[in-house]
Amino acid sequence: GIFDAVLSDDGVPVKNETIKSVWYDSIKPLTFQWKPNTTGIHNLKITVDTNNRINERYENNNEISHRIEVVLPDLYPFSLDCPAKIYVNASNTLTATIHGKTDEDFNITFKADGEVIDERVINGIDHDTNMTFEWRPSHTGKITLELIVDENKMLKESIETNNILSSSANVVFPDLFPTAMQSTLAYVNATNMINISVRGTAECFSVSLFESGAAVGNVSNITCYGSTNVSIPWKPDRTGNHTLQAVIDPYNNIRETDEANNNITQECEVILPDIIPVNITPYIIFINETNSIIVTVNGTAEGFNATLFANNTCIDKKVDLNTYNNTIEFEWTPKYPGNHNLTVFLDPDNDIIETNETNNNLSVNVITANRIGLELLFPLGGEILTGFCNITWNASYDQPVMIDLVYSANNGYTWNIIAENITNNGSYEWDTRDVIDSKYMILIIARYANITQEDNSDLFFVYNKKSASNWGEFHSNAGFSLSETPDTCETAWISDDIGAESSSSLIVADGKIFVYCAGWQKDYSDYTYLVALNESDGEVLWGTRIAPRKYFSWATPTYNDGRVYVSSGDGVYCIDATKEDRGHVLWEYIFPDGGGSVNGGPAVANGKVYVGSWGGGHYYCLDAKKGTMIWKFKINDNSQSVPAIAYGRVYFGDFSGNSKAYCVDMDDAYEFWNTSIDWNACGSFTVADGAVYFTTFNFDGPGCAYALDAGNGTQIWKNNIISTDSTPAFYAPSGSTRSYVYVSSGSNAYKIYCFNIKNGETVWTVDGLGHWTNSPAVSVDKKVFVGKKGGGGGMISGYSGLYCLDALTGDEIWHSDIGGSSPAIANGKVYTIAGTRVVAFGSSTPHDIVVENIFVPRIINAGIETNITALIGNIGTSDIQESFTVTLTHKSILIDEIAISSLEAGNSINISFNWTPPEIGNYRLLVTADTDDTVSELDSINNILRKDVTVGGMADLVVTAIEAPYVSPVGSDINITVYVENTGLYTNMSFNVGLMINGEVEGNKTITLTDNKASVLFNWTSEKTGLHVLKCTADVSGIIDEADETNNIMIKKIKVLDNSTLGLGPGYEGGTGGGSGGGIGAGDSEGDTGEAGVGGMPKPDEGSESILDKMETISGYLFTDSTSGQSGGGGTIPLLLVIFLIIMLVLLYHGHRSERRLLDEARDYIGPYKRFFKKKK
């Protein structure tokens, strides 16, 4: 039942906690946080069930009291440690320890001879805190140092007189001296590096190299703290023996205690060089494209030439070269396929005098051919794959090609085969269940004879077991989780005492934790339950009783599709896991061979349950829904493994005097292979990347760790280890050159092993950790978790701690003195059994970084730098205070990376990458946040987002608009503006924009674009009336190659009218349609002076303001204000013509897209005044 517990201070309640349950005859630990605000004696009292929610046998024992004295804190500096020597004008590190306890802020001050060197505010202290100070004294001598706590009296203390710690320090001059000079052999007329080793402490000094008193080299601005190496370039001009002297601080910039030990002298022999070409690559060269031909050269020389010949024809020459055992790059664009002889000649002009002039040439035979066209279509990166997936591609060649498909879990350092020698049909169905959940990339290889072409994806996820959020079986996903894990031993919760069996492991699935519980009577317990806990808080949801364990053994359950399967006693159970309040047994299967469940458990895949019967000597396959037997497989003796399932096969071992490892078909138990092994296969197998990993137990000595080929059972490697039942954990860290397996061992001695999966080489070991019942687990952020033996005995082992180690080095990251059983990892937490409880390590307020969006420009051009913007958010419940990296990649090649120093919970930040696409085509860009998994977070799957973009490859000039009046009077000057835009690849080339009127060239101007846009102004005087055709052309001369040459022209027509037609005259503010007053003048077409215009047509109040504004910008429009106009010069245009001109000008102004809307609006304006026009024709 649920009840409360109240902490009272002198009768006043100060804290209240809720307890959800307490088991019979067990202790429920409870912690209150109390912050007293007064000193003196306090009477504390804890009362449980204050509301009497629980009906108890005794109600008078629910309180306990305690008297405590509250005192003021006392903070004081405990120590101030200085280095053995403190040097002037150099940074010296001092370490201080402050002692005390308070939640309040206080300041720490470090002084030297009364001068403040550093001052900090400390946010509370719990007993001790350590800190370092950097001090750079400016003079020598004895100096008084002071470390002062709470100098500003920020808090009240019980003792105020012990806040200062004083000490003295003797500051001395440094002493720099060389310890070695390395270069006994050098080459004439070439730059040789002379290496000098320096000891001492100083900043901003030089080291010079002298020969016969003359300086021949110098390096300045050197800083040395303890020791450093300095390399000085030297170019001798003669052969023979040379005496070199290195001098530290030759200009005496550093005052030293000993100025006489700054020199070192050494003899150096200078000889003639000898440059030798040793290799020419590649051997396959593609026609009709520029190939890089790399020549590898041994030797050192400067200032020589090199020539490359193909079939005795010079194809490239490089001049004034320098080489220091490196390479020379040539270029060649062959035109025809076939076999060719390439010959390189070094120093053909004999500019370099060498010891051997006969070895400067090298010839190789190469093949020139067409490149195979190849493009991987799916997956490209960023996807989450499950089950069967089609890998698709396009491959084209003039000969039939074969296809190889491989995958990598470590960014391409090593590759594993998916399929080989398949036909080029563009698709292959890949069963992703054959690989563990992880991040992968795919490489496709198209082959014809010796000609190959490759294409690869960026990183994507395989996520069949949902291993970031679930750990649904024993040693799930080969012991590797895509979840990140905590950086400290913070506990999220500890369950009630449920009688959990610590030699077993637990599983996490569907928001629940399922635990095999064998009670508290150890070996002889008849209490055996499967208990379900709430994953979020460890609360007990339900417990289902199952058969008591046999032979002091244990089992680990497995979860599949809403059901939990567990073996115990003499059979297997299937339990409904979908309910929150109970776990109903759906079926039970009793082993017909009379055997029982011992130290293993079932595995489930493809609707089948695989489980071993210890003592009966069989492995069984059952129908997962019905519990009926499908097949059984007989082994030599005891079946103790949890079967491992991969590649459509089942892998397990036997525990006998003639032990073997087996591989059988998962559907019918057809035996593919069995391999005899040393000692007993008591543990379970791990299958990953085509190999089977397991351990053996020797009761009389060392056992073994094995790696077998999963396809045929042949041994890859074997190592002797301390005997164990441990199941290896597999890890292929992203970006590492190696993949690893981890093993826990020991019954009398204990050790953790890390092996290289390729050859079994021991990478590291840790003594004192592990146990024979312990199986490690690895998280995606490079941590491995193991237990430490403690307590228990015999078959029932106890653990005294969980350890988090660096997966690459074995160094301890953190540990806890509770827990330690074979751990499970999910949702940012680590779960393990501590005694007979379950403990969850991790934060209750986790981080969660997410890539929310990617923004790209509308136009992206090859060869031009482009900004790619990504929105990075923290959707977790706590602020991220540490720096993490966000990367932009394409096909796993880094484009750019940006560090984010911190990110508050609930906030997002835009970051901008720089990308210069090398060529045109389709690209999949991948943005990955927290690339190195430095931030422990809830969900790392959402750290990747993809964006497909198309990159253009050529410029594309477009005339986008011609700005000119539609109607103009004859003889007037007309401004014509032409607008040009480049919608393709960026160009900075100049080009011409031409204007033709009625087929004749009117103007031609040279321009350069700014931000891919430009405008050109032409001026034209109309000499003739009528309709004139304007034709504007961008890049008249065809200087720029374009993606589309058909959109460079735009045509517009202008109507030029004479003055009589327009009705223009010398009227005052009138003209056609009235003067400034507005209105329609009454002059005739002969040009007589028009009378004052009557009141013009008023603007309808509801009219479109934008249209009216545009109408009023052209003189003589109908619509102005409604006052009468003065006399206008000239005559009137016929009213129907005026209406026509209005409509046409408006249409031309707004363009084709607004045509229908403007017609409707103009019709609406004219409609109310139709009566004015009825008598006009």
The three-point CA angle 531-533-535 to 5° equals 150
Could you give the dihedral angle defined by the CA atoms of residues 898, 902, 907 and 909, in that order, rounded to the nearest 10 degrees? Answer: -20
Report yes or no on 519 lying in a domain. yes
**Statement to judge: residues 971 and 1016 lie in one domain:** yes
Q: What is the pLDDT of residue 1091?
A: 37
- Residue 436 near residue 688 (C-beta atoms within 8 A): yes
| Residue 329, domain extent | 288-369
Q: At what angle do helices 1135-1150 and 1105-1112 cross, to 10 degrees?
A: 110
**Statement to judge: residues 189 and 160 lie in one domain:** no
- Which helix (H) or strand (E) segment holds residue 27: the answer is none
Give how far Cα 474 sits from Cα of 362, 500, 686, 807, 823, Å. Answer: 60, 15, 11, 20, 10
Q: Could you tell me which residues come within 8 angstroms of residue 264 by beta carbon, excluding any fewer than 6 positions away?
A: 178, 179, 180, 181, 196, 245, 246
Report yes or no on 858 lying in a domain. yes
Instruction: Out of 1000, 1035, 1057, pick the residue that ends a domain.
Output: 1057
Number of H helices, E strands in the chain: 4, 81
Q: What is the pLDDT of residue 1023?
A: 85
Q: What is the pLDDT of residue 453?
A: 94
Report yes or no on 281 lying in a domain. no
| Dist. CA 702–CA 809, nearest whole Å | 24
Other Cβ atoms within 10 Å of 101 Cβ, number: 12
**Statement to judge: residues 796 and 707 lie in one domain:** yes
Q: What is the pLDDT of residue 792?
A: 58
Residue with tokens 């056992």: 703
**Statement to judge: residues 187 and 167 lie in one domain:** no
| Of the candidates 381, 439, 385, the residue with the CA atom closest to the CA atom of residue 736 | 439
| Count of CA atoms in the C-beta half-sphere (13 A) of 246 | 28
Q: What is the pLDDT of residues 39-51, one digit of tens each?
A: 999 999 999 999 8
DSSP symbols for 348-403: TT--S--S-SS--EEEEEEEEEPPPEEEEEE--SS-EE-SEEEEEEEEE-SS--EE
| Count of CA atoms in the C-beta half-sphere (13 A) of 848 | 17
β-pairing verdict for 86-87 and 164-172? parallel
Range 260-265 contact pairs with CB under 8 angstroms and sequence separation of 24 or more: 261/175, 261/177, 262/176, 262/177, 262/178, 263/178, 264/178, 264/179, 264/180, 264/181, 264/196, 265/181
| Of the candidates 844, 812, 850, 802, the residue with the CA atom closest to the CA atom of residue 827 | 844
| Dist. CA 267–CA 241, nearest whole Å | 7
Q: What is the pLDDT of residue 1074?
A: 36
**Statement to judge: residues 623 and 744 lie in one domain:** yes
The three-point CA angle 108-109-112 to 5° equals 155
Cα 942 from chain centroid (whole Å) = 10
Residue with tokens 């806040």: 163
Provide the token pair at 567: 């073996």
**Statement to judge: residues 822 and 695 lie in one domain:** yes
Q: What is the pLDDT of residue 616?
A: 81
| Dist. CA 754–CA 770, nearest whole Å | 12
Give me the count of residues in the chain. 1177
Q: What is the pLDDT of residue 1082?
A: 37
| Count of CA atoms in the C-beta half-sphere (13 A) of 251 | 11
- Residue 176 near residue 254 (C-beta atoms within 8 A): yes
The separation between the first and the last C-alpha atoms of the chain, rounded to the nearest angstrom, is 99
Rama region for 835: left / alpha / beta (φ>0; ψ in -120 to 50; rest) = left
Q: What is the pLDDT of residue 426?
A: 94
- Please list the rounded mean pLDDT of every run of 10 residues in the chain (1177 residues): 88 88 69 89 94 87 93 93 93 94 92 94 89 94 95 89 94 95 88 95 95 93 95 94 95 93 94 95 94 96 95 95 93 94 95 94 96 94 93 94 94 90 95 92 94 93 92 92 92 89 89 87 70 92 86 85 91 92 91 83 92 87 94 86 91 84 93 89 88 88 89 92 89 86 88 92 92 91 91 65 94 92 94 92 90 90 88 92 93 93 93 92 92 87 92 86 90 92 84 93 92 92 90 92 86 86 43 36 38 37 38 36 39 54 61 47 45 39
Q: How many domains does the chain have?
A: 9
Instruction: Out of 462, 485, 513, pick the residue that ends a domain.
Output: 462
Q: What is the pLDDT of residue 1170?
A: 42
SS3 1105: helix
**Statement to judge: residues 159 and 186 lie in one domain:** no
| Dist. CA 942–CA 370, nearest whole Å | 42
| Of the candidates 675, 631, 615, 679, the residue with the CA atom closest to the CA atom of residue 651 | 675
* CATH number of the domain where residue 250 is located: 2.60.40.10
What's phi and psi for 839, nearest 5 deg?
Answer: -125, 140
**Statement to judge: residues 825 and 736 lie in one domain:** yes
Instruction: Out of 930, 951, 972, pick the residue that ends a domain.
Output: 951
Give how far Cα 207 sits from Cα of 172, 176, 183, 263, Å. Answer: 22, 11, 16, 10
Q: What is the pLDDT of residue 1120?
A: 37
Q: What is the pLDDT of residues 551-564, one digit of tens each?
A: 777 789 999 999 99
Provide the token pair at 120: 């900090």
**Statement to judge: residues 703 and 797 lie in one domain:** yes
Report yes or no on 470 lying in a domain. no
Report yes or no on 282 lying in a domain. no
What's phi and psi for 1012, nearest 5 deg?
Answer: 65, 20
Give how far Cα 1155 sits from Cα of 960, 978, 1144, 1147, 1172, Å. Answer: 18, 21, 10, 6, 26
**Statement to judge: residues 985 and 1115 lie in one domain:** no
Q: What is the pLDDT of residue 1119?
A: 34
- Cis? peptide before 702, omega within 30° of 0: no
- Residue 207 near residue 232 (C-beta atoms within 8 A): yes
DSSP-assigned letter for residue 728: P
**Statement to judge: residues 1080 and 995 lie in one domain:** no
| Dist. CA 287–CA 308, nearest whole Å | 17
Which segments within 821-943 are labelled E, that is strand? 824-826, 829-834, 837-841, 849-855, 866-874, 884-890, 893-900, 908-915, 921-929
Report yes or no on 67 lying in a domain. no
| Count of CA atoms in the C-beta half-sphere (13 A) of 768 | 6
Report yes or no on 524 lying in a domain. yes
**Statement to judge: residues 1051 and 1079 lie in one domain:** no
Give how far Cα 511 sits from Cα of 175, 481, 1172, Å. Answer: 65, 16, 82
| Dist. CA 1148–CA 1152, nearest whole Å | 8
Report yes or no on 691 lying in a domain. yes
